[in-house]
Every structure is written in structure tokens, then in C-alpha cells.
Amino acid sequence: MIRNATLPDGSRHDVEIRDGRIAAFLPPATNEPGVMLLPPLVDGHIHLDKTLLGLPWVPNQAAGNAVADRIEAERKVRAARTVSEEETGANLVKQVVASGTLHMRSHVDIDNQLGLRNLHAVLAIRERFRDLVTIQIVAFPQSGLLRSPGTAALLDEAVAQGADLVGGLDPVGIDGDLAGHLDPIFAIASRHGVGIDLHLHDGGEGGIAQMLAIAERTRTSGLKGKVAISHAFALGSVPTDLAARTADTLAEAGIAIMSHGPGAATMPPLPLLRAHGVEVFGGSDNIRDAWSPFGNGDMLERAMLIGYRANFRHDHELRLAYEMVTEAAARVLGLADYGIRIGGPADFVAIEAETLAEAVAARPRRKWVLKAGRVLARDGVLALP
Ligand SMILES: [Zn+2]
């Protein structure tokens, strides 16, 4: 029994847990101060294979600020690695579980230099932590498809070996060929009946044109509701009426938009997208890797960063940031057994806060993280061997 719990809707109950599931919400038996219970946090975009967490500090080596500069820098860091991706990725999984994330979507680098090495590392991590977290894997062509010949066949093989979705990367900005990049990706997704999650950093009207091409292919491939675009900076760099028209097209195609609250790039207009029926969700993106020195995998902090970058101030805006790292991300990931309800899993993150807005603004310490009624972490520290 969890006494006097405040639920996300603001109601207070004693929560009865039986056999790892929520058995009943009862009137509070006492007036003692209780905790606020959130459902597990969901990281809709992480890179488990890229992180250098647990290694001595690795200075960023990118020569410039372009995506291509960072890809080059990462190749150098990767070659100099002394610890396996499996080990550093496992360090990250433990850290995010301790902060309350129990579901995530990880992109995994695949190119003609790496082959499926990183996929195998993340498949091993998924197996090792299968009782703690759900890990969805995106086969991600970090070096492009055309710039890295042979990658399309590797993506196909990655899905055959257990990747859940196909990824993509700036069809024009990286490969310089919209159809040459998108057609193989949609063909692989259709052939295997899986979804797609593409990185799209390209801004301005060029970025919008690529989104419309993605929407068109989503419709004709019958992939409505199974496609996401990560970053989508372009939506924040064009006039509002163009962003709104694009939002209508994205909503019709059931395309979701992921934002991590980027430091310098333009933000997609989250409330506008939501108002036009587009699902928006959050993710950490890079955590302590060759791309970014920042990040810790704490999704409440991520919600705060998203809100900070989006200039959110009102409670209903902070609530949108909260939903992006919980319910909305759960819908995008297609998590069937998620949410605080009778019969639902006794999976909770307990914090000290009165409202969701306060939880996002203060990102309080996680008092405990429960999975199926079992304590996984206490005060931000994993309670497992
Ligand atoms: Zn990413």
C-alpha cells in the first residue's frame, strides 16, 4: 500500500498493489504527507551506443558545428575507444533507471565501417536489462545511405536481427538525394512491417519540403501512425502559417515529432503542433558522447529543458512538457501496458511535488522507482545488485 499518494490528475489516494499491479485506489486512511506518483518516465530518443559514460572525460573534437563535422569527430572517438559500447551503454541504462526511466527508444549507428557491431551491443544490453526496461531499437544510418554505400542492406539485416524501426538522417543535408535516401528506408519498413524514426536537422523551407515528402511516403506506404521525425528544427524556422499548414499534413499522416529542447537550433512550435493534432514527444538525444558533453538521462530534467527552451511558463504548458516524457512518448512507442490505472502495472516514480507543473520546474529527487511493485531505485541510486 502506498499511503496518501497524489496522482498526476491531482487526486489523493491510498494505492493498493497486489501481484505487481494496481489493485485499488482507496480513500486516504490518514492525513500524513505522502508522495506524488508519476508513471515511469519514457525516453523517446536516446543513443545507448554513443555514450562514453563511465570513461574518463573525453573532450569534444568536432572541427566545426555542422552535422558532418560531428560525424567525422565521432569516427575518431569511436576508433580510440578502450571500453566497449556494451559496457558504456549499460552504465547509461543503470543511470536512467535510477532516475525513473523504464522505457526508451534507442537509435543505433549502422554504417559500412561499423556494420552491425553497435546493434549487437545494444541487443545484448536489451537482453541483459529485459526485466527492468523496455528498449526499442532504431537502425540508424548515422553516416547516410549514399555516402556510406552498403548501409541500406545493413539496415534491412538489422531489422531482420531485431531492430524495431528503421531510421534516417537528413536526406538532403547529408546524402543530397531526397528520393535516394527515403525510398530505401520506406521499402525496408514496408517489407518488414516496422515503423520509421528519422533524424531531420535540415532547417527552413528545405526541411519542410523533406517533411512533406516523408508524409507523402507515409501515406502511400500505409505507415500512418508509425512514423516519427526527430528534431524537426525546420518547423521552428519558417513563418507560423507554413508551420501550421505543415502540421496539418503531419497530423493527417500520423507523424509524431520528437524534440529534446536543443541548445542552439530552432525549436519546433510544440503547442501549435499539439493544437493541430500532431503528437509531440521528448527524448534525451546525446548523453556524454562525441556529439554533446551534456545530458544525464533524467527525463524530468529533460522536460524542464524543453519547457525552458520553449519559453513555457504556465502550468498547462509545463504539463505538455511532462506529457512529452510520459504519456505522449508511451503512445508513440506503442506501449500497451502503461499508465496509472486499476489493473495497470505498479510501475511508479515517487517524488515530492504537489503538481505536475512543480515536478517539471523543480525536477525533484526520485524518492523511489518501482517496477511491478518492486523497488528498483531509492533516492536516485539503483537498489539492485
Ligand atoms: Zn539523435
Predicted pLDDT at 67: 82
Site of grid cell 536489462: 129
The verdict on 289 and 374 lying in the same domain is no
Q: Do residue 169 and residue 232 come from a single domain? A: yes
**Residue at grid coordinates 546524402:** 175
Give me 6's grid cell. 497524489
In angstroms and rounded to an integer, the radius of gyration of the C-alpha atoms of the chain is: 20
Summarize pLDDT for 220-277 with one digit per residue, the tens: 999 999 999 999 999 999 999 999 999 999 999 999 999 999 998 999 999 999 999 9
- Residues within 5 A (CB) of ion ligand 1: 285
pLDDT in tens, 309-344: 999 999 999 999 999 999 999 999 999 999 999 999
Q: Determine the structural domain holding residue 361 and report its residue range.
A: 2-39+341-382
Task: Provide the CATH number for the domain around residue 349.
Answer: 2.30.40.10
The distance from CA 220 to its chain's CA centroid, rounded to whole angstroms, is: 26
- Ligand 1 centre distance from Cα of residue 4 (Å): 39
**Residue 133 CA, distance from chain mean position:** 13
- Residue 259 is part of a domain; what is its CATH number? 3.20.20.140
Distance 267 CA to ligand 1 centre (A): 15
pLDDT band at 360 (very low <50, low <70, confident <90, very high): very high
> Are residues 320 and 345 part of one domain?
no
H/E segment holding residue 132: none
Same domain, 154 and 82: yes
Same domain, 91 and 240: yes
Please, what is the average pLDDT of the chain? 96
pLDDT 10s digits, 173-184: 999 999 999 999
Q: Tell me which of 68-72, 94-98, 119-123 is least confident.
A: 68-72
- The fraction of the chain above a pLDDT of 90, given in percent, is 92
Ligand 1 centre and the CA of 343: distance in Å?
A: 35
- Centre of ligand 1 from the C-alpha of residue 27, in Å: 44
Pairing of strands 101-109, 134-140: parallel
> What is the tens place of the pLDDT at every residue in 70-83?
888 888 888 888 89
C-alpha of residue 71 to centroid of ligand 1, in Å: 12
For ligand 1, the distance from its centroid to the CA atom of residue 259, given in whole angstroms, is 10
Domain end residue (candidates: 309, 333, 357): 333
Q: Which three three-digit cell numbers place residue 174?
A: 547529408
How far does residue 347's CA lie from ligand 1's centre (Å)?
A: 27
Q: How far is CA 219 from CA 11, 186, 212, 254, 290, in A?
A: 41, 11, 11, 9, 36
Chain centre to alpha carbon of residue 99: 15
Same domain, 281 and 367: no
Q: Would you list the DSSP string of 133-187?
A: -EEEEEEE-TT-SSSSTTHHHHHHHHHHTT--EEEEE-TTTTTS-HHHHHHHHHH
Same domain, 32 and 91: no
Tell me if 160 sits within 8 A of 131, measured CB to CB: no
**Res 385: pLDDT:** 64
* Same-domain check for residues 282 and 350: no
Query: What is the pLDDT averaged over residues 215-224?
Result: 97
The CA 43 to ligand 1 mean position distance, Å, reads 12
**Do residue 49 and residue 178 come from a single domain?**
yes
Above pLDDT 70, what percent of the chain? Answer: 100
Ligand 1 mean position, distance from CA 285 (Å): 5
Please indicate, yes or no, whether residues 72 and 35 belong to a single structural domain of this protein: no
More confident residue, 66 or 370: 370
Burial class (CB in 10 A: 0-12, 13-18, 19+), 33: exposed
Tell me how many domains the chain contains. 2
Find the 335 Cα to ligand 1 centroid distance in Å. 21
Domain boundary among 298, 316, 333: 333
Question: 81 and 141, same structural domain?
Answer: yes
Nearest residue to 197 via CA among 303, 28, 46: 46
Compare 64 and 360 and report the one with higher pLDDT. Answer: 360
Helix, strand, coil percent content, the chain, rounded in steps of 5:
35, 20, 40
Residue 384 has pLDDT above 80, yes or no: no
Beta-carbon contacts of 72 under 8 Å, excluding residues fewer than 6 positions away, are 62, 63
Does one domain contain both 87 and 167?
Answer: yes
- Mean pLDDT calculated for residue range 10-35: 94
Q: Which pTM does this prediction carry?
A: 0.97
Cα 252 to averaged position of ligand 1 atoms, centre (Å): 25
